[in-house]
Each structure stands twice: as structure tokens, then as C-alpha cells.
A and B are shown apart, each in its own frame.
Chain A
């Protein structure tokens, strides 16, 4: 089973700053099998990116995904107040999630 490890565990940033979140796989993942989600407390998770770099419907272009092989990145170019949340990567082969990165207000 492929294990996804996300880093850092917590990212403390201010609105307007750039956020770079990492997701590392224990073995190579085909690009089309990697997605990113946003999850806020008390809300349903939201799909942001699939296929490593394709934004889901309605997702602002400040969110972008990149990477290949074992290293993938979610970038939020300018943090908006509503972007502070927990972010998960997921691979669709065994449908496993990473442990999450919390983006908190500094």
C-alpha cells in the first residue's frame, strides 16, 4: 500500500502570503491518481485538485497542484482568510490520504 507523508504538519502564515504544501509518496504515483482536498472544521471536505494539477470545478486559480513520481506540491499563491484549513493529499490506487497539513493564521 502506498503511504503518503505530508509536510509540514502545520504552516503558520499571514493572509496574502504564499503557501507551499508537500506530499511525498512511499513509491511512485501516476500523476492522474493524485488529488488534494481542503477541510474546515464542521464542514464537508472539498476537492481542490485532481490528476495532480487539474483544478476541480469552481476552485480559484490561486490554488495550483504540481509534481510527479513521489513528490507532489499544492501551492496557494496568495492566502485569503477563507483558505485557513487542513489540506490532505490522496492517491486513488488504494484511496489513501496523507495525514494532513494545517494552514493556520500567524
Chain B
């Protein structure tokens, strides 16, 4: 059974930094692209960032480019999102999501067939 467990959310001041994590189990982690998707309060889903299975290719939404960095530790089956220069509009529940396609190490994210329960990031003074 696929399991994705996010952690590391919390309250951070504007301009601050936070790193959230997602521990994965139940599938061959290196064979799937992974993504972060967020939902701000009262808003819809927004894809934030993704990474290929090997970690060699990363992808970002325009709204976080240059501020967020996605990475993965395939030895520990863990996905990370380093968030810097945080803004109020980054306040959201952040979900870790596994890609649908099993396609080796260099596929880019497309569709998301398994999701974690989310971790809340609040940016406020």
C-alpha cells in the first residue's frame, strides 16, 4: 500500500524559511516523479513543484520559482520542499503527490495517483 506522510509544517514569519518533508513507502520511490501541490484557505488546488525520479530534473510553478527548491533523498525514500522568502500567499496545506506513471528515472510529473494528508504552512507575523 502506497503511503505518503508529510511533516514539517508550521507557523513562519513573512520572509522566513521552512523545509517540509514527505516520507514515502509502498512503491519503488526512484521510479516515480513526485510533486508538491498546495491548497490555500478557501481556494483550489495549485501545483507547486515537481521532481523526476532520479532528482536530476526539477520543475516549478512561476509563483514559487527562485524561492522554493524541491529535492529528494532516494536512499531514504523522502521528498523535500525548501521554502525561502515566504509570503502570506504561500499559506496553504501542502500535499505530497506521487506520479501515476511508472517510467524510470527521468520522467516529468504529469498526473497524481496517490496523495498524502497534507501539512499546513502558515506565513504570518
Contacts and interface: CB of A to CB of B under 8 A. Distances in A.
Interface of A: 1, 33, 35, 37, 39, 43-47, 50, 56-57, 86, 88, 90, 92, 95-100
- Specify the main secondary structure of chain B where it touches its partner: strand
A35 B97 CA distance: 15
Interface in B67-125: 95, 97, 100, 109-113, 115-118
A36 to B, nearest CB: 10
Contacts, number: 53
A99 B44 contact: yes
B47 A95 contact: yes
Interface of B: 35, 37, 44-47, 50, 59, 61-62, 95, 97, 100, 109-113, 115-118
Name the 6 nearest CB pairs between A and B, nearest first. A44-B115, A92-B110, A95-B47, A100-B44, A97-B45, A35-B111
Contact of A44 (B35, B46, B111, B117): B117
Contact of A92 (B45, B95, B111, B118): B111
B111 A100 contact: no
B63 to A, nearest CB: 11
A45 B115 contact: yes
A93 to B, nearest CB: 9
A95 B44 contact: no
A102 B50 CA distance: 27
Contacts of A99: 44
A33 B110 contact: yes
Contacts of A45: 37, 45, 95, 97, 112, 115
A44 B95 contact: yes
A37 B45 contact: yes
